[in-house]
Amino acid sequence: MSLLVLKFGGTSVADLERIRNVAAHVKREVDGGNACAVVVSAMAGQTNQLVALVEEAWGYKVRSQNGAAASAHYDTREYDAVVSSGEQVTSGLLALVLQAAGVQARSWQGWQIPLRTDAAHRAARITGVEVGELKARMLDGEVAVIAGFQGIAPGNRIATLGRGGSDTSAVALAAALQADRCDIYTDVDGVYTTDPRVVPKAHRLDRISYEEMLEMASQGAKVLQTRSVELAMQKGVRVLVRSSFDAPDLAGKGDAETGGGLGTLVCHEDEIVEQNVVSGIAYARDEAKVTLLKVADKPGVAAQVFGPLAEAHINVDMIVQNVSDDGRHTDMTFTVQSADLDRALEVLRNSKDSIGYLDLRGSTDIAKVSAIGVGMRSHAGVAAQMFSALAEKGINIEAISTSEIKISVLIDAAYAELAVRTLHSLFGLDR
């Protein structure tokens, strides 16, 4: 008997027919003698609708369009109360469908487990999962159907884990339960060399290292939420990404021990025999660029800019600083998530006196394209190759950032797909 965590994303639970298909996957594992916890997302599109309702209720979009002053800071505790509800529905529905199929099952909300988080509502971090009761029932043959994406924050309020957070719910549960496997069922049959919906020549990887997956996810490959990969790497959880659209009776072959056959196994680097210099290309279109013009060029100014953003829980990604034309000031450009742009601009406007700048600009017409591979550690010249290939296509680079195993460039959004395809061919990844 194995202890398994199975996670099903939004498209996999989009309607009752798909939920029945999910139940068939779960039943297969139960019939195989395994103890199962199943984490579900909200039905596809549901969370977006709930987010839109929150914004409408707060009146932010409406008021800012009318030119009236409005704050982008709504109460994130109430955002969480609303957007966490999609998972409540699917967890109850899957439990019912399983029961109807003769499988013992019970739904669990985050607070009922409890899965505890910190107080950073809207993007909370998991601080602990108490699985005693859950595990006892699982070992007794009851399937635990868990609402993903949500937990309980100090003060007994519901908190959500950031968009795509059900992946992290699943990995955290797998770690706490000491599960043998964490299967992430989604609408593609594994992790590809790049988004297969953008580059038809992309191919599925049998295995990918935690580190590469972490970079892929954080650079925009939303197939796994970044934090879920971080956690899996930290706790050594074996994650298998696979398709929920494979026939349930065939799908048992994908085995986390081999990673072969079905899906992609996310595992330690030394478990991967063949390794390309570049393993994958990721892109993100959900970042926005903020530019501060003519900031005083003096010690401490960067802290004055980024301190208030950090306090507002706004993550900053790429940062570029140029001496401005008068030589006494500096222009500062950095990127944030598009969803945070309005709040970032508001925070910076409020700090204008303490920072001291001439002008502030925000733009969402940008994309970040990244090449990722552990092979870069031992190969020189990858960046140069990448920059010349982009130049040949007439693509201008606005900012660059690198890590040991990644090179990212910021470009005009209109060139995103061309850049991804160009780099995918350049590094020999085309199928």
Residues lying near Mg ion in the complex (CB under 5 A) are found at: 9, 164
Question: For residues 232 and 399, what is the distance between their CA atoms, to the nearest angstrom?
Answer: 30
- Structure tokens that stand for 111 in this block: 């607070």
Smallest Cα–Cα separation from 51: which of 113, 123, 110?
123
Q: Which of residues 59-88 bind ligand ASP (CB under 6 A)?
A: 86
Asked if 373 is part of the footprint of ligand ADP (rule: CB under 6 A), the reply reads no
Question: For residues 21 and 97, what is the distance between their CA atoms, to the nearest angstrom?
Answer: 10
Smallest Cα–Cα separation from 97: which of 13, 181, 200, 35?
13
Of the candidate residues 4, 5, 9, 423, the single one contacting ligand ASP (CB under 6 A): 9
Phi-psi region of 177 (alpha: psi -120 to 50; beta: other; left: phi over 0): alpha
* Binder of residue 148, out of ligand ADP, ligand ASP, Mg ion, none (CB less than 5 to 8 A by kind): ligand ASP
Could you tell me where the DSSP H helices lie in 105-202? 132-139, 166-177
Question: For residues 335 and 341, what is the distance between their CA atoms, to the nearest angstrom?
Answer: 9
Asked if 244 is part of the footprint of ligand ASP (rule: CB under 6 A), the reply reads no
Q: Which helix (H) or strand (E) holds 306?
A: helix 301-311
* Binder of residue 34, out of ligand ASP, ligand ADP, Mg ion, none (CB less than 5 to 8 A by kind): none
Q: How far is the CB of 227 from ligand ADP (least distance, A)?
A: 13
Of the candidate residues 116, 121, 122, 163, the single one contacting ligand ASP (CB under 6 A): 163
Asked if 165 is part of the footprint of ligand ASP (rule: CB under 6 A), the reply reads yes
- Structure tokens that stand for 17 in this block: 């027919």
Q: Which of residues 9-28 bind ligand ADP (CB under 6 A)?
A: 9-12
* Binder of residue 188, out of ligand ASP, Mg ion, ligand ADP, none (CB less than 5 to 8 A by kind): ligand ADP
Report yes or no: 305 and 269 within 8 Å, Cβ to Cβ.
no
Of the candidate residues 221, 272, 314, 341, the single one contacting ligand ADP (CB under 6 A): 221
Residue 362, marked binder: no
Nearer to ligand ASP (CB atom), residue 86 or residue 263? 86
* Binder of residue 163, out of ligand ADP, ligand ASP, Mg ion, none (CB less than 5 to 8 A by kind): ligand ASP
Residue 393, marked binder: no
Smallest Cα–Cα separation from 235: which of 175, 325, 303?
175
Piece of the chain touching ligand ADP by CB under 6 A; list 97-105, 206-214, 216-224, 400-408: 216-224
Asked if 398 is part of the footprint of ligand ADP (rule: CB under 6 A), the reply reads no
Question: For residues 149 and 164, what is the distance between their CA atoms, to the nearest angstrom?
Answer: 7
- Structure tokens that stand for 143 in this block: 């399937």
Report yes or no: 222 and 191 within 8 Å, Cβ to Cβ.
no
Asked if 110 is part of the footprint of ligand ASP (rule: CB under 6 A), the reply reads no
Question: Which residue in the block uniquely carries the two structure tokens 């996999």?
Answer: 12
**Number of amino acids touching ligand ASP (CB under 6 A):** 13
Report yes or no: 228 and 170 within 8 Å, Cβ to Cβ.
yes
Nearer to Mg ion (CB atom), residue 214 or residue 407? 214
The contact set with ligand ADP (CB under 6 A) reads 9-12, 41, 164, 186-188, 191-192, 194-197, 216, 221-223, 280
